[in-house]
Structure 1
Amino acid sequence: MTDTPARHETDDPPRSDGHGSTEEFVEQWSNAAYNCFSSGHKFCREVCPVMQVTRNESWTPTAFHANVVAMEQGELEIADIAEDYVNCTGCGACELRCPNTLFTGDFYRFRTRTVDLVKAVRALAVDNDVHQQGWQRWNLLTDERTHEPVLGDTPVSQEHVRDWSDGLNIPVGGETILFVDCEAAFYRTSVPRAVAQLLQHAGYEFGLMNEQWCCGGPAAEMGYVEQSKRFARHNLEDWRAGGVKRVLVLDPHDYITFTEDYPKYFGDDYDIEIVLVVEVLAEMIRDGRLKPAVPVERTVTYHDPCRLNKRKGVWKEPRQILSAIPGLVFHDVDRVTQWSYCSGGGGGLPIEKPELTARISESRVDKAAELGVDTLVSACPWSERPLSEAGDARQIDVTDIHELLAESLGIEVGGSRGR
């Protein structure tokens, strides 16, 4: 199973949380900033989903690095630039397309790390008491409820975190547990129900956490690193108390958090195996443990979630699953082209700028419509809400890949699609 991204195979710029003074921050990040190519060849700009819909040069990867140079020269303070760094979904497309990666990376063992820089600037802002109103409120509510509030009026509390599993007879505890992100647990409950029933159908044993909290990843992405660490510590202690050795994750955002943030927080103490469900299901299909037989008469294309395709290199397995479903007409778009596709649902953008997320999702659905499909398939609950809203206007259904596979196995999923 893939548990670390290929881009970590080489030496990287510092992975600062942003803590400390501005001077310390600049010292840590100035070399990475100076290494940013500002050649104007649009390598990073034209794959940036925010740049595609706004054309705002202040919100480009190049500008994010240039600001660090300006801070070093004493021309800018964190309060001057913090708001600009809201405009990033954390998709990672700019890193893949940067000339540092394409031309010099293999030789000089250097990779541009714009996603980490954005997170570090956001953390520096919080450390200096510079807050974005929506993010601050979101994290205060998450801290109170131990779960993200979830956009809209959906009630969220520890008492109801396992409600999605009603009637499925899933035990609590065991060596392998399924972690369900807040969006899926409280809002799009059909997704975890599909995942759980697929695993049960294949005879895969798993349980649930005794007391699951939010993974902490969104807090870290918005700059609230200490809150993220507290949530991570709680979850790890819960896993250890229950004898957990393996954590199944269905959401790409959790997968990033557990395989990148948690190892950074806990170092060698972190010995939990993290397994992505979509990879498990693809393996089960290859091994014959899952045999899709019910025709699903749809014309579909697949939306590569940014945190799987771009940041983790996971793109084969979802396509293997879709290719195994009878009745589907699958119009694929190659994974490299999809480096420039995004739902706009990541990096805290929907919380601060929902209108910008909507424009990015509309652009993505427009690309699907050009293929003449009736269904856009995703493997990320966080992308499915904005994509669904955009899809309604184009009469394109947005469906999770786990639900589609369950349908092809004759499984009645139930639950809510959050619509």
Structure 2
Amino acid sequence: MPHLGQIEQAFVERWHENATGCFSSGHKFCREVCPVTQVTRNENHTPTAFHANVIGLEKGHLSVEDVADDYVHCTQCGGCEVRCPNTLMVGDFYRARTETVKVVRAMRAMLVDKGLDREKWKVWNRLTDELKNEPVLGVEGEQPNGQAQVRDWAAGLDIPIGGDTIMFVDCEAAYYRTSVPRATAQILRKAGVEFGLMNEQWCCGGPAAEMGYVEQSMRFARHNVDDWRRSGVKRIIAIEPHDYVHFTEDYPAYFGDEFDFEVVQIIDLVAELIRDGRLELVKPIERVATYHDPCRLNKRKGIHEAPREILRAIPGLEFRDVDRVTQWSYCSGGGGGLPIEKPEITAEISRRRLEKASELDVDLLVSACVWSERPLTAAGDEAGIEVRDIIELVAESAGIEVGGRTRA
């Protein structure tokens, strides 16, 4: 019978109640909204298994080594939490829920502490630690990115450093899909929103935390908060959903009352600018489109009305939506470190998402998350459907020439 060490004992004690609530209910409604389970059909990869394993560890039926690889199979989309009756019966299912995502993250942190972390995650986070940004352009050979190029996306835009409000640009957007931050910056400028950039922007630290590298995540968060303090920053515009989650959940958990910054999600802000008449969309976009809800906006943070408001404001665009519950089951597979360690599963999740979009007879799939857009774009090429970021569409309709790289 496996013996629980100090680390395992602390983990079991922390998550016993949560796991018992899930394990004892036995409903398993969460399974079919889990994008990974939809693909692998493996019982070990289900949200219920993640909780049952805690009980198995507590009872001595399992060791951490036995279940280590199970917890790689999670995008941390939160679909299982939204679907869980234990969550729904509480009432406000966007704030009080069965915390499967936290259980997965805690298990991954324990794997790191015990030296059982996955090899590709080790490489990714080692390079992130060295570069101070994620190696989104590749992990092999000489790194073409780094702090010297962190603001290259903004060439020719003359954006100041510091100020009351800054725009935080995710690693994927800053180095890979540079058209998104360029479009965002020009939209904000056209609407009269004053903002600057950081003195020295590091990765938000969120991906490290999602993969279990909590100490690294906290160091990166500390650097960014100190940078904001030096510049007198009071408000952060997060242009990427993963960053928004980390700034509104992880950073307050790390720093408590010290974290007194206002965090604004770009989709909410752009919807407000259009609504108030500060940003006019005048150029028609004659396309038939549907919207892919990024998991961290819809399922994790409840932001689902604002992007639809934006799409309906674009002249010429025919928008074909899906029902509210169906949105919960959709995912790109691009989160939680899954595309780093299990890229084939991410690819299949995105392929299935484009298959569903095809059923609506659209020629455009719109998202609001650069991390989802890379795998979705690859799947869209096969399906004959273009994938674009909602901010890129807004810029086009506002008559803005964006520039930058729209895709690989």
TM-score by length of 2: 0.95
Q: What amino acid is the match of 1:332?
A: D
Could you give the per-residue CA deviations for residues 91-130 of structure 1, whole angstroms, max 9, x where no partner exists?
A: 00000111201235679x9631000000000001101111
The runs of 5 or more residues in structure 1 that have no matched partner are 1-18
Distance 2:6 2:119 in 1: 22
From 38, 44, 69, the equivalent of 2:55 is: 69
Matches of residues 164-183 of structure 1 in structure 2 within 5 Å?
164-183=153-172
C-alpha contact 1:343 1:361 (8 A) present in aligned 2: yes
Distance 1:20 1:316 in 2: 45
Shift of residue 334 of structure 1? 2.8
Distance 1:103 1:181 in 2: 36
From 16, 25, 28, the equivalent of 1:30 is: 16
Distance 1:59 1:115 in 2: 13
* Aligned equivalent of 1:113: 99
Q: What amino acid is the match of 1:289?
A: R
Could you give the per-residue CA deviations for residues 230-266 of structure 1, whole angstroms, max 9, x where no partner exists?
A: 0000000000001000000110000000000000000
Shift of residue 74 of structure 1? 1.3
Other structure's SS at 2:237 match: strand
* Aligned equivalent of 1:373: 362
Other structure's SS at 1:403 match: helix
* Aligned equivalent of 1:392: 381
Is 1:306–2:292 an aligned residue pair?
A: no
Structure 1 stretch displaced more, 25-34 or 227-236: 25-34
* Aligned equivalent of 1:14: none
* Aligned equivalent of 1:345: 334
Identity of aligned residues (%): 67
TM-score by length of 1: 0.93
Distance 1:339 1:185, change over 3 A: same
* Aligned equivalent of 2:80: 94
The runs of 5 or more residues in structure 2 that have no matched partner are none
Distance 1:242 1:20, change over 3 A: farther
Distance 1:294 1:106 in 2: 40
Other structure's SS at 1:36 match: helix
Shift of residue 185 of structure 1? 0.2
Is 1:227–2:213 an aligned residue pair?
A: no
Q: What amino acid is the match of 1:75?
A: H
C-alpha contact 1:93 1:340 (8 A) present in aligned 2: yes
* Aligned equivalent of 1:7: none
Distance 2:23 2:377 in 1: 36
Distance 1:94 1:138 in 2: 27
Shift of residue 287 of structure 1? 0.5
Structure 1 stretch displaced more, 24-33 or 383-392: 24-33
C-alpha contact 2:236 2:263 (8 A) present in aligned 1: yes
C-alpha contact 1:100 1:110 (8 A) present in aligned 2: no
Alpha carbon RMSD of aligned pairs, Å?
A: 1.6
C-alpha contact 2:23 2:51 (8 A) present in aligned 1: no
Shift of residue 41 of structure 1? 4.5
Distance 1:110 1:394, change over 3 A: closer
Matches of residues 18-417 of structure 1 in structure 2 within 5 Å?
21-37=7-23, 41-103=27-89, 111-152=97-138, 155-417=144-406
Shift of residue 20 of structure 1? 5.9
Could you give the per-residue CA deviations for residues 264-310 of structure 1, whole angstroms, max 9, x where no partner exists?
A: 00001111110011111100111001110100011000000000000
